[in-house]
Amino acid sequence: MNDSLTLQLVGEFIGTLVLILLGDGVVAAVSLKKSKAEGAGWIAIALGWGLAVTLGVYCSAFLSPAHLNPAVTLGMAIAGVFKWSYVVPYMIAQTLGGLVGAIIVWINYYPHWAETDDSKAILGVFATGPAIRNYPMNFISEFIGTLVLVFALLAFTRGKFTEGLNPMVVGLLITAIGFSLGGTTGYAINPARDLGPRIAHQILPIANKGDSDWKYSWVPVFGPLAGGAVGAWLYLLIP
């Protein structure tokens, strides 16, 4: 990791861009009409997101701690292993990376938006949404998923992994959360993963798009932030 804050922010931007490019990309591949992967389903999405996180970490870890997630950044600060003064700049860089990554997904699949007449499926490429809209329970689902994520990431610091293996373990963690807990809300578990692409959905001239569902947008932002904070506090309770 580089000591320069500027280079660390570049790392967080690049890593989150790769994360969203590959993560939203697999959702686009599965959801958009006339994609060769159309209909591949939840298994493809969960595995794709796990790989997206792994590769995003590999692409940025030489520059930054590769949080790629404001909830992780907040949790690390609460746990005392990250500077509080870096929290807001990291969150901004991560969100911008998510925005740009989503824009590239739109470009990559450009002809497919016009072929897809389901505006909810199009929004689902960019942002998460609940299977059953129940705001308190949706919040709790995002809270639990992110609590598990941050607690596990901190717990990993107490173990020993072969050099270079840690990003793969983190990817497996994301895949497990997706398989086991993600069916309720699409498991944002990352404010930048949802907010940046949702902004992209709002501002881009996407064919057949509908509403960006801003009334739900607070859930995948504040649910993960709360879950990440509590995950870190629980970790601190362990001597």
pLDDT for the residue 3 = 85
Task: Quickly state the pLDDT bin for 161 (edges 50, 70, 90).
Answer: confident
Q: Give the tens place of pLDDT for each residue, 85-96.
A: 999 999 999 999
Contact between 171 and 181 under an 8 Å Cβ cutoff? The reply is no
Task: Quickly state the pLDDT bin for 164 (edges 50, 70, 90).
Answer: confident
Check whether 137 has a pLDDT greater than 80. yes
What's the mean per-residue pLDDT of the chain?
97
Structural domain spans, the chain: 5-237
Q: What is the mean pLDDT of residues 12-37?
A: 98
Percent of the chain with pLDDT over 70: 99
Q: What is the pTM of this model?
A: 0.96
pLDDT for the residue 159 = 79
Alpha carbons 124 and 198: distance in angstroms, whole number: 9
Alpha carbons 175 and 173: distance in angstroms, whole number: 5
pLDDT for the residue 130 = 98
pLDDT for the residue 7 = 97
pLDDT for the residue 158 = 86
pLDDT for the residue 126 = 98
- With CA atoms as reference, report the closest residue to 24 among 238, 192, 213, 235: 192
Query: Kindly report the CA angle at 228 between 43 and 57, in degrees rounded to 5?
Result: 55
Q: Give the tens place of pLDDT for each residue, 193-228.
A: 999 999 999 999 999 999 999 999 999 999 999 999
Contacts of 141 (CB under 8 A, 6+ apart): 181, 184, 185, 187, 223
CATH ID of 5-237, from 3.10.129.10, 1.20.1080.10, 3.40.50.920, 3.30.70.360: 1.20.1080.10
- With CA atoms as reference, report the closest residue to 199 among 105, 94, 102, 87: 102
Q: Which of 3-7, 86-90, 123-127, 226-230 has the lowest mean pLDDT?
A: 3-7
Check whether 80 has a pLDDT greater than 90. yes
pLDDT for the residue 141 = 98
